[in-house]
Amino acid sequence: MNSICKPLTRFSVTVRSSGCTLRNCANALFLLAALFAAGCSSMNKPASASFASVLIYNQTPEKIRLTADSVFANNGYQSIRNPDGTQIYEKEATKGEQLAYAGFVGAHEGERTIVRVRMGLEPQGLNCFLLSCKAFVVTSPGDFVSEQTFPLYGWQSGPYQNLLNNIRDNLKVAAMKAVQTP
């Protein structure tokens, strides 16, 4: 019992001498929790939309897919439709991404590295669809033995959110033009 009390006493003395009272620590934790909660804008989205997503109203799934194909093609992506109906877009990774994911030797040797974006389209009610995507960096794509897939994190979703916003905005403009022309 005595051996446990000495370290605890030393710890409490250290905490008191550093000026960290229980109230200061509680305030710091509350501030940290508030910062995390305020910065987390994806909390009101479904779990499938945790990377990048937009809600699209009054459009057919086919129009959404065609517009997505166009926007991604304009940004250097190639479209691939899987047999199960899911849509995938791929493009060659940048030198920085190749270095980060294939490593120095892989980048030096020219190991193929791509960025793969998997799209999802889910109905969210009457005339409303959730268009979402998840991005991955793939090294040695198509190689059965050495292909590796690295999912991108939420803080890396900015460019993909911009692409989805562009799809939504293009659909809105097309709908406005359709209404204006008799």
Give me the percent of the chain exceeding a pLDDT of 70. Answer: 72
Whole-angstrom Cα distance, residue 108 to residue 73? 28
Q: Is the pLDDT of residue 27 over 90?
A: no
pLDDT at 21 over 70: no
Report residue 165's pLDDT band, with 50, 70 and 90 as the boundaries: very high
> Which of 3-12, 39-48, 104-113 has the highest average model confidence (pLDDT)?
104-113
pLDDT score of 174: 87
Q: What is the pLDDT of residue 33?
A: 55
Q: For the chain, how many structural domains are there in total?
A: 2
Question: Are both 48 and 33 inside the same structural domain?
Answer: no
Where in the sequence is the domain holding 99, given as residue range(s)?
Answer: 42-180
- pLDDT beyond 50 at 8: no
Long-range contacts of 12-20 (CB under 8 A, 24+ apart): none
CA distances from 99 to 37, 42, 87, 141, 151 (A): 34, 30, 27, 16, 16
Q: How far apart are CA 137 and CA 97, in angstroms?
A: 8
What's the CATH number where 173 sits? 3.30.310.80
Mean pLDDT of all residues belonging to the chain: 81
Q: Are residues 68 and 87 in the same domain?
A: yes
Q: 10 with 88, same domain?
A: no
Note whether 164 and 84 are same-domain residues.
yes
Q: What is the pLDDT of residue 3?
A: 52
Asked which of 6-15, 84-93, 169-178 is least confident by mean pLDDT, the reply is 6-15
State the pTM of this model.
Answer: 0.72
Per the model's pLDDT, the better-predicted residue between 108 and 56 turns out to be 56
- 17/40 Cα distance (integer angstroms): 35
| Least confidently predicted of 18-22, 42-46, 81-85 | 42-46
CA distances from 113 to 59, 157, 180 (A): 35, 19, 45
Please tell me the distance from the alpha carbon of residue 125 to that of residue 174, in angstroms, as a whole number.
22
pLDDT at 26 over 80: no
16 and 93 belong to one structural domain: no
Q: Which residues pair with 137 in a beta bridge?
A: 115, 150
- Asked whether residue 125 falls in the same domain as residue 93, the answer is yes
Decide if pLDDT at 127 tops 70.
Answer: yes
Same domain, 97 and 130: yes
pLDDT at 84: 85
